[in-house]
């Protein structure tokens, strides 16, 4: 369960479930390992506690994350009249040390990593009024197996989160019989009900007022409410909807604010009309339909144009026989084919051709005007064009001033940059072999450029895509140890997330080892990725550098690894610093 004490420091309460067997103890009426805020021993100072059942094998473990174990031989269980001996933990120590509680619904396999309190029931829980985020997770790492879920007894108090809570994550927990009997807070902006054994959209969604990111993936939902359902009024604000790995065949509603829709792994045999409607409105930009049953998908010319206008269309369509009047066409924005009306048939569509001609004419006119304006501006402003003003002073140098001065290392424009020019591909060197396809926005050609002296490699940090300022980003994507803190937390991120990843790469180049290779837990054992992510997201851990690493490189890397994205240098600043280091030190 993830709790945050204020807007600057997020904390994680990760709950994992325990197995059970029998051992002797005095408080026999206590049959569950209970997380509660009610009736805790006095030395817990009004903080929540875990009361351990003597009948469960996974008892209190005195290791790091959960604090010390205590025993009270004169304890009275809530509602009881007799005293008994109870083992308990007060969940306060980590509240003041990184604001992290680490609980579990499952014991870890490695005994040296058992630093969690095992909980089987949550009751009478009270949240801090400053809590921002809550996470309940049934397994140590997020599961992709629908059968890998845990049962836990939850009462209404778990769901009675204060209005400050804007993010709720319930992962790998069996909620099928629980969700319909509880009330959900209406303040959530992010809600994950992932791998929770759900078979329908909960009716309580109708009460939501601000949810933007909704994840219902890895469930058993076979159909969505019809378009008259009140549920959709509560989801009208959703911009990012993940319904992957369910059993859906239709999408009965138009969500006017939806930008990202993930339907991967469902039972669709065609693309529902409402999806085209959302794409036509310009709102929907990212559509994921891989691993569906899309076979010989027939689309009209207008539908093809809408699909190709998406920023991302991820789908795999099996083409065996497009049928009479259709032919296979490769999408310009996806590694997939669809069946489109053959050229001979499309000539009869005068209306569509007339519309396309108008659109192309307008585009050409705008392009000509833009070129004229550009040339006029370039002529009028002369040498000022392309100069860089201002700049970060994070390294003690005004980089903007350096770029516009006499230092020819950088030049006045990126178009004059010798390193960029060296990697530039001349269009004359690309041989056009044959036309592969025509789409609503141009032609796709097979070209030839590579030879025995020219090679290309594609690499990334795990997260890469075009971004506008207010786009909803995709959370949780990327290689764990290279991910920036803001991405781990599921918040909005920018290109400065890649700058953080570059800082991690610098540590690899220095140590020749994977990042965080030397991170250890409280027992001296190797730190697990989930713990690394928690510490990185709280700004408590950074990759290390060797003693032999040049101080200038370490300084640059530490700037890239700044917890606050605004404190990280831009790519052009990094380029300047690296060139300066090479010039001054090599």
Instruction: Annotate 388-410 with DSSP letters as a single string.
Output: ------TTSS-HHHHHHTT-TTT
The confidence score (pLDDT) of residue 73 equals 82
Q: Residues near 586 by Cβ (< 8 Å), separated by ≥ 6?
A: none
Q: Which helix (H) or strand (E) holds 154?
A: strand 153-154
Instruction: Annotate 99-125 with DSSP letters as a single string.
Output: S-EEEESS--SSGGG--SEE-SEEES-
Residue range 185-235, pLDDT digits in tens: 998 999 999 999 999 999 999 999 999 999 999 999 999 999 999 999 999
The confidence score (pLDDT) of residue 21 equals 37
CA 175 vs. chain centroid, Å, equals 23
Residue range 493-511, pLDDT digits in tens: 899 999 999 999 999 999 9
Q: pTM value?
A: 0.55
Q: Residues near 209 by Cβ (< 8 Å), separated by ≥ 6?
A: 186, 187, 234, 237
- Nearest-angstrom CA–CA distance, 425 and 502: 25
- Nearest-angstrom CA–CA distance, 170 and 181: 16
The confidence score (pLDDT) of residue 455 equals 60
Residue range 479-494, pLDDT digits in tens: 678 999 988 888 788 9
Bridge partner list, 404: none
Task: Tell me how far CA of residue 466 lies from CA of 91, 103, 278, 308, in angstroms.
Answer: 43, 38, 20, 15
Residue range 78-129, pLDDT digits in tens: 777 788 888 888 875 444 333 444 455 554 444 344 345 677 889 998 887 7
The confidence score (pLDDT) of residue 279 equals 94
- Name the residue with tokens 């159909």: 223
- Nearest-angstrom CA–CA distance, 489 and 277: 32
Structure tokens at 507: 């540590």
Strands 13-14 and 101-104: parallel
Bridge partner list, 341: 326
Q: Which of 113-122, 154-163, 308-317 has the lowest mean pLDDT?
A: 113-122
Counting every residue, how long is the chain? Answer: 586
Residue range 437-472, pLDDT digits in tens: 776 557 777 777 766 566 655 454 444 444 444 444
- Nearest-angstrom CA–CA distance, 229 and 236: 12
3-state secondary structure of 555: helix
Q: Which runs of E-coded beta strand occur in 418-501?
A: 431-439, 442-448
- Nearest-angstrom CA–CA distance, 414 and 430: 23
Q: How confident is the model at residue 309 (pLDDT cuts 50, 70, 90)?
A: very high
Name which of 561, 542, 585 is nearest 394 in CA terms. 561
């Amino acid at each position: 369960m993830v709790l945050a004490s204020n807007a600057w420091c997020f904390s994680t309460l990760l709950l994992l479930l325990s197995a059970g067997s029998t051992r002797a103890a005095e408080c026999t009426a206590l049959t569950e390992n209970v997380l509660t805020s009610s009736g805790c021993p006095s030395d817990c100072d009004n903080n929540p506690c875990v009361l351990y059942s003597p009948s469960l094998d996974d008892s209190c473990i005195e290791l790091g994350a959960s604090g010390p174990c205590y025993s009270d031989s004169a304890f009275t269980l809530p509602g009881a009249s007799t005293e008994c001996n109870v083992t308990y933990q007060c969940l306060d120590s980590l509240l003041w040390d990184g604001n992290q509680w680490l609980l579990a619904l499952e014991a870890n396999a490695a005994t040296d990593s058992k630093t969690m309190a095992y909980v089987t029931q949550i009751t009478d829980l009270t949240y801090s009024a400053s809590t921002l985020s809550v996470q309940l997770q049934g397994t140590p790492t997020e599961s992709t197996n629908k059968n890998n879920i845990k049962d836990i007894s939850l009462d209404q108090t778990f769901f009675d989160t204060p209005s400050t809570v804007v993010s709720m994550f319930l992962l790998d927990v069996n909620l099928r019989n629980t969700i319909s009997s509880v009330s959900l807070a209406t303040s959530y902006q992010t809600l994950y009900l992932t791998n929770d054994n759900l078979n329908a959209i909960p009716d309580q969604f109708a009460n939501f007022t601000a949810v933007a990111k909704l994840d219902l993936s890895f469930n058993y939902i076979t159909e969505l409410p019809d378009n008259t359902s009140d549920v959709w009024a509560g989801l009208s604000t959703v911009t990012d909807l993940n319904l992957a790995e369910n059993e859906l065949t239709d999408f009965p509603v138009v969500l006017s604010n939806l930008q990202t829709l993930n339907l991967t792994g469902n039972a669709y045999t065609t693309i529902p009309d409402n999806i085209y409607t959302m794409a036509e409105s310009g709102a929907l930009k990212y559509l994921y339909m891989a691993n569906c049953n899309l076979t010989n998908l027939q689309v009209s010319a207008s539908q093809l144009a809408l699909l190709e206008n998406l920023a991302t269309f991820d789908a795999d369509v099996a083409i065996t026989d497009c049928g009479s009047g259709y032919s296979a066409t490769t999408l310009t924005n996806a590694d997939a084919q669809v069946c489109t009306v053959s050229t001979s048939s499309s000539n009869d569509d005068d209306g569509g051709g007339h519309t396309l001609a108008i659109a192309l004419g307008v585009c050409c006119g705008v392009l000509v005007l833009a070129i004229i304006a550009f040339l006029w501006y370039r002529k009028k402003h002369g040498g000022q064009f392309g100069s860089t003003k201002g700049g970060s002073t994070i390294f003690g140098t005004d980089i903007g001033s350096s770029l516009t001065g006499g230092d020819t290392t950088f030049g006045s424009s990126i178009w004059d940059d010798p390193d960029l020019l060296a990697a530039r591909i001349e269009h004359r060197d690309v041989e056009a072999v044959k036309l592969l396809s025509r789409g609503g926005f141009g032609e796709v050609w097979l070209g030839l450029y590579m030879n025995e002296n020219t090679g290309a490699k594609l690499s990334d940090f795990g997260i890469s895509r075009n971004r506008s300022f207010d786009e909803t980003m995709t959370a949780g994507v990327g290689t764990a140890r290279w991910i920036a803190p803001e991405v781990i937390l599921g918040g909005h991120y920018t290109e400065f997330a890649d700058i953080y990843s570059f800082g991690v790469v610098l540590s690899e180049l220095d140590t020749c080892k994977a990042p965080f290779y030397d991170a250890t837990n409280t027992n001296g054992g190797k730190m697990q990725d989930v713990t690394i992510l928690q510490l990185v997201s709280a700004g408590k851990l950074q990759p290390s550098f060797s003693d032999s690493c040049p101080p200038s490189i370490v300084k640059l890397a530490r700037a890239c690894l700044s917890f606050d994205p605004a404190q990280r240098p831009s790519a052009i600043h990094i380029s300047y610093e690296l060139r300066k280091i090479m010039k001054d030190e090599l």
